């Protein structure tokens, strides 16, 4: 299981399991069952089947994956990239804050120089390549 090296209790960072699942679905190039997803992202069995099913269900509600019934199980395919979910969370947090200007100012102040250059480039040319 991939964890944040700075996280001492071995837990994934927020959104980490969603990102790992979306990446596994994208890389597989075909629809997968929850068990197949779990086997790809946690081959040593360090992740419970129910955690994968719960996360896939949440991703389906967010319209990040498709789901189709096959026998007694479902098969899932990714509809979005992990970055899309992070952007959605960032947008939701910003929209919930009454002082959006203050939040954005502090966000920009805290950016690393390279990230600030990238953000400026994206604002100047939103259709440009990353």
**Residue 61 belongs to a domain with what CATH number?**
1.10.10.10
Query: Do 72 and 104 have their domain in common?
Result: no
Query: Do 74 and 41 have their domain in common?
Result: yes
Domain that holds residue 34: 16-78
pLDDT confidence of residue 13:
78
pLDDT, averaged per 10 consecutive residues of the chain (130 residues), comes to: 47 85 95 97 93 96 95 95 90 94 94 94 81
pLDDT confidence of residue 130:
52
Which pair of structure tokens corresponds to residue 60?
Answer: 């389906």
pLDDT confidence of residue 3:
44
User: Would 47 be classed as within a structural domain?
Assistant: yes
User: Would 40 be classed as within a structural domain?
Assistant: yes
Q: Mention every residue, 6+ apart, whose C-beta is less than 8 A from residue 128.
A: 121, 122
| Structural domains counted in the chain | 2
Cα 51 from Cα 42, distance rounded (Å) = 11
With beta carbons less than 8 A apart as the criterion, state whether 116 and 108 touch.
Answer: yes
User: Would 26 be classed as within a structural domain?
Assistant: yes
Which whole-number Å values give the CA distances from 20 to 37, 42, 82, in the listed order?
Answer: 9, 10, 8
Query: Do 72 and 23 have their domain in common?
Result: yes
Query: Do 74 and 105 have their domain in common?
Result: no
Entry pTM = 0.73
Query: Do 44 and 71 have their domain in common?
Result: yes
User: Would 4 be classed as within a structural domain?
Assistant: no
Query: Do 33 and 67 have their domain in common?
Result: yes
pLDDT confidence of residue 2:
43
pLDDT confidence of residue 4:
42
User: Would 84 be classed as within a structural domain?
Assistant: no
User: Would 129 be classed as within a structural domain?
Assistant: no
Query: Do 104 and 54 have their domain in common?
Result: no
pLDDT confidence of residue 105:
94
User: Would 91 be classed as within a structural domain?
Assistant: no
With beta carbons less than 8 A apart as the criterion, state whether 79 and 66 touch.
Answer: yes
């Amino acid at each position: 299981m991939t964890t944040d090296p700075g996280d001492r209790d071995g837990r994934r960072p927020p959104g980490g399991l969603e990102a790992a699942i979306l990446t596994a679905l994208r890389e597989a190039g075909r629809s997968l069952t929850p068990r197949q997803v779990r086997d790809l992202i946690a081959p040593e069995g360090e992740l419970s089947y129910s955690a994968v099913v719960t996360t896939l269900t949440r991703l389906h509600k967010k319209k990040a994956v498709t789901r189709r019934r096959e026998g007694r199980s479902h098969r899932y395919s990714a509809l979005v990239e992990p970055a899309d979910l992070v952007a959605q969370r960032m947008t939701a947090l910003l929209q919930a804050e009454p002082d959006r200007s203050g939040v954005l100012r502090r966000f920009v102040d805290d950016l690393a120089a390279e990230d600030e250059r990238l953000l400026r480039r994206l604002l100047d040319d939103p259709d440009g390549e990353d």
